[in-house]
């Protein structure tokens, strides 16, 4: 199913005319907690791959480790200010260990598919003040381990502003999130704020904070995360990145570490 979907996107790209102007600076979604307001230029394709992602969460005596590989995002420029996205998690492994009894349970599955559109409303290259609207829907094709179990949808409103050598970003979000039992949906909302800055010509870093209120019928909770990330661009069309997120309250995962790669075609 996924390969047919990716093939449809590739066929769509073949009929989109490439712009004659000089290429924009690469503006990937990775790394970090927030979402950029910039869009992929008309006719360009960007593939973003999460090479490895490890998350640990401790709740009483239960320790949960989630390892994800091949978390892919394909972005396609449809117009100078509109892009389409398809995301899919190729492989996820969940390991639960009861530290009191010593019992261990392990499950391995594929993840869900996310389809999105991002329409930039001002400065699609991300310069100056830039803002966009990004509706998305999640399709429950994944297994029980890392899949949501039912469809979900939401809206992101990423915005950024450049101030000297730094960029301030804000990503409010509103979602019909899937219930924890995988049946039905509930309201979730929040925002991510951060500051990004260039360390050198090809190395950038960002510090971010995210707060999400989740109103699952099984219990309402607020998740608070802090994150730091870095991206290194060896050339104009690629990037390697690394990052870490830390949970700031009991409702959040304790720690997340990740590594990824971006390539523009």
Which tokens hold the place of 57?
């969460």
Per-residue pLDDT reduced to its tens digit, 170-208: 999 999 999 999 999 999 999 999 999 999 999 999 999
pLDDT at residue 2 greater than cutoff 60: no
Q: Where are the domains of the chain?
A: 2-264
Cβ of 152: how many Cβ atoms within 10 Å? Answer: 21
In this predicted structure, what is the pLDDT of residue 164? Answer: 84
- Which residue in 179, 109, 188 sits closest to 148, CA to CA? 179
Please, which pLDDT band fits residue 68 given cuts at 50, 70 and 90?
very high
Distance of CA 80 to the CA centre of its chain: 22
Please, which pLDDT band fits residue 34 given cuts at 50, 70 and 90?
very high
Per-residue pLDDT reduced to its tens digit, 116-149: 999 999 999 999 999 999 999 999 999 888 899 9
d(CA 216, CA 12): 38
pLDDT at residue 114 greater than cutoff 60: yes
If one looks up domain 2-264 in CATH, what number appears?
2.40.160.40
In this predicted structure, what is the pLDDT of residue 99? Answer: 87
Contact 84, 113 (CB under 8 A): no
Please, which pLDDT band fits residue 17 given cuts at 50, 70 and 90?
very low
């Amino acid at each position: 199913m996924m390969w047919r979907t990716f093939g449809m996107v590739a066929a769509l790209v073949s009929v989109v005319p490439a712009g004659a102007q000089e290429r924009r600076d690469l503006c990937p979604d990775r790394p970090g907690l927030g979402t950029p307001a910039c869009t992929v230029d008309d006719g360009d394709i960007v593939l973003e791959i999460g090479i490895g992602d490890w998350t640990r969460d401790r709740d009483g005596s239960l320790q949960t480790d989630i390892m994800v590989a091949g978390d892919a995002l394909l972005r396609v420029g449809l117009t100078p200010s509109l892009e389409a996205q398809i995301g899919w998690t190729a492989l996820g492994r969940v390991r639960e260990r009861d530290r009191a009894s010593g019992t261990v349970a392990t499950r391995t599955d594929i993840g869900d598919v996310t389809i999105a559109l991002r329409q930039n409303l001002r400065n699609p290259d991300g310069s100056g003040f830039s803002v966009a609207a990004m509706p998305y829907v999640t399709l429950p094709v994944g297994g029980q381990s890392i899949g949501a179990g039912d469809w979900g949808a939401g809206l992101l409103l990423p915005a950024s502003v450049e101030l000297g050598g730094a960029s301030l970003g804000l990503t409010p979000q509103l979602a019909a999130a899937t219930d924890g039992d995988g049946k039905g949906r509930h309201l979730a909302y929040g925002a991510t704020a951060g500051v990004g800055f260039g360390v050198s010509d090809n190395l950038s870093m960002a510090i971010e904070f995210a707060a999400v209120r989740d109103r699952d019928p099984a219990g309402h909770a607020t998740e608070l995360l802090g994150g730091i990330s870095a991206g290194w661009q060896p050339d104009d069309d690629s990037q390697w990145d690394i990052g870490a997120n830390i949970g700031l309250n009991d409702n959040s995962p304790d720690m997340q570490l990740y590594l990824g790669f971006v390539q523009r075609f």
